[in-house]
Chains A and B, each alone.
Chain A
Amino acid sequence: MIDRRRSRRSFLKLAAASAAGWWASLSPAGFAAEREPHRKPIPSSGERIPVIGMGTWITFNVPDAPGPMAVRREILGRFFARGGGMIDSSPMYGRAEAVVGDCLRALDRPEALFSATKIWTRSTSTGREQHADSLDLWGAGRLDLQQVHNLQNWQAHLETLRERREAGEVRYIGITTSHGRRHDEMERIMRSEDLDFVQLTYNILDREAEQRLLPLATERGIAVIANRPFRQKALIERFEDHPLPDWAAEIECENWPQFLLKFIVSHPDVTCAIPATSVVAHMGENMGALYGPMPDAAMRERMVAWVGDL
């Protein structure tokens, strides 16, 4: 009798668990709760952040109109529901910081947010103003990461950023470049300055950073953000007519964005990648790269060879 009751209870528990699992797998929030996203540590602190973040160049530079704003709120909602953390922006990106700030307020400022922005000006005083504006636009008393955009006037701006970090307005500081430009200067700064982050262009076709900058980042204990993971969307457009290799299933890649992103963030020296999108469904695809097995060194070589043959 007792055994029968026990087995009925076990069956009910199992059924309830299955139903809950099925329900969780349907909802984006449930997905994030069910599977742990890949995270990597920021070397200077040990804090671990999700390896897929989000860029805002072009995609969040939209007017304050109901249609575009609703889409951006949905994109950000999907980003956080699927385990995202870092959002990267800049005063150079037009209204992007303001739009991100509005969306974050609408989403009650998710705890997972890792706010990253930049100072983009040659003027030291304007740089200070931009930092103050960013605090205001993001609606935060503190930014997680403030960077010097494209190394402009980096000596003076790094001084400003260190001051602001001392004042508790910034947690981490860094420098950025893109399109493979000014790598020599970036290398000199990485060797001479105390940085938490560098941001540079790294993707399956633009791998120059592998030679010096990525190993140097690890050597110096600097986190690396990879920008232009899809060369804007050129890589997706270039590969989308080709099927993924069968072996992509081994690393749970269902589409090209996941394939390209997993290649980037599986590099041992890369901390996270920041794809941008203005399409809600694409955000879902991108965030898929945050889960499942990552390619090892041998598979990374196969990935490079595969796209090289396309």
Chain B
Amino acid sequence: MLPFDGPTWLAILEQYNQAIWPLHGVAALCVLAAIALAFSGARFAGHAIGVLLGVLWIWIGLIFFGGSVAPFHFAAEELAGVFVAQGLMMVLALTVMGRGGIFGWPGGRTGVLAVVLVVYAVAAHPLLGHLLTDTPWSQLSYVGVAPAPTMLLTLALLLLALPRPPLIVAIIPFLWALVTGYMAAGLGLALEYIPATLGVAAFAVMVVRRFQRSEPWLDG
């Protein structure tokens, strides 16, 4: 149940973007570092990715939902809690518990999907939003500081976990992909169907990889 309409959601994003500027740059550096680490195959990549993405999820929970969304949404505190929980799980699962294993290029269609997701989350989402819907830059969602593109980036990087992605940290991002689809319908923001669909597709691929010994159609 959404207690606001599309223009109000965009206004919330605008106020938030203006309030945190220029921290988008810091978030972008964290995102680029996480992407580079994921593709590098470095031994410590899992730990670093866990910390970087964990911090971004916690930030979005506390500052975006707990601060900017709270005056407008009766469930903002609960949403903030979910994002903080996801951030803590990312840190714990990928560092202390070492569930991330090694990150690296998985090859095949999984690799291609991961690249598509990364490119969309980092660049295409705001770019398409501006070019196709004429939304001002200040009202767009940016990776690392806003929920939908950060959800997508997280799922993309988890696709790069070898030998298999840790599903436990993909559940909340998957649920947020569903919420993003619900918001697309409820707020009349058609472009949000793209991250929603990509997020669901990424999670489906992860589930298949997790439970099947070999997946030739994914690796083909």
Number of residue pairs A-B, CB distance < 8 angstroms: 38
Of the listed stretches B8-16, B89-97, B171-179, B208-216, name the one at the interface; the rest are far from the partner chain: B8-16
Pairwise interchain contact B5-A94, C-beta atoms closer than 8 A:
no
Pairwise interchain contact B11-A61, C-beta atoms closer than 8 A:
no
Q: How far is the CA of A93 from the CA of B8 in the complex (A)?
A: 13
Known: A58-B5, A61-B3. A94 touches B11 (CB 8 A): no
Least CB distance from A60 to B in Å reads 10
- 1/0 per residue, CB under 8 A from A, across B46-89: the answer is 00000000000000000000000001111000000000000000
Pairwise interchain contact A57-B11, C-beta atoms closer than 8 A:
no
- 1/0 per residue, CB under 8 A from B, across A91-106: the answer is 1111100000000000
> Which B residues lie within 8 Å of A68 (CB)?
7-8, 11
Q: How far is the CA of A65 from the CA of B11 in the complex (A)?
A: 9
> Which A residues lie within 8 Å of B74 (CB)?
91-92, 94, 120
Least CB distance from B180 to A in Å reads 19
- Give the interface size class of chain B: 10 to 19
Known: A63-B12, A63-B15. A94 touches B7 (CB 8 A): no
Say which residue of A63, A93, A120, A278 sits within 8 Å of B11 (CB atoms): A63
Q: Is A62 an interface residue (CB 8 A)?
A: yes
Least CB distance from B53 to A in Å reads 30
Known: A63-B12, A63-B15, A65-B11. A278 touches B72 (CB 8 A): no
Say which residue of A59, A95, A120 sits within 8 Å of B72 (CB atoms): A95
Q: How far is the CA of A81 from the CA of B5 in the complex (A)?
A: 26
> Which B residues lie within 8 Å of A57 (CB)?
3
Binding site for A on B (CB under 8 A): 2-5, 7-8, 11-12, 15, 71-74
Closest 10 CB pairs of A and B: A94-B72, A63-B11, A61-B4, A92-B74, A94-B3, A62-B8, A95-B71, A61-B3, A58-B5, A61-B72
Question: Could you list 12 examples of A-B contacts with CB < 8 Å?
Answer: A58-B3, A61-B3, A61-B72, A62-B4, A62-B7, A62-B11, A63-B12, A63-B72, A94-B3, A94-B72, A94-B74, A278-B5
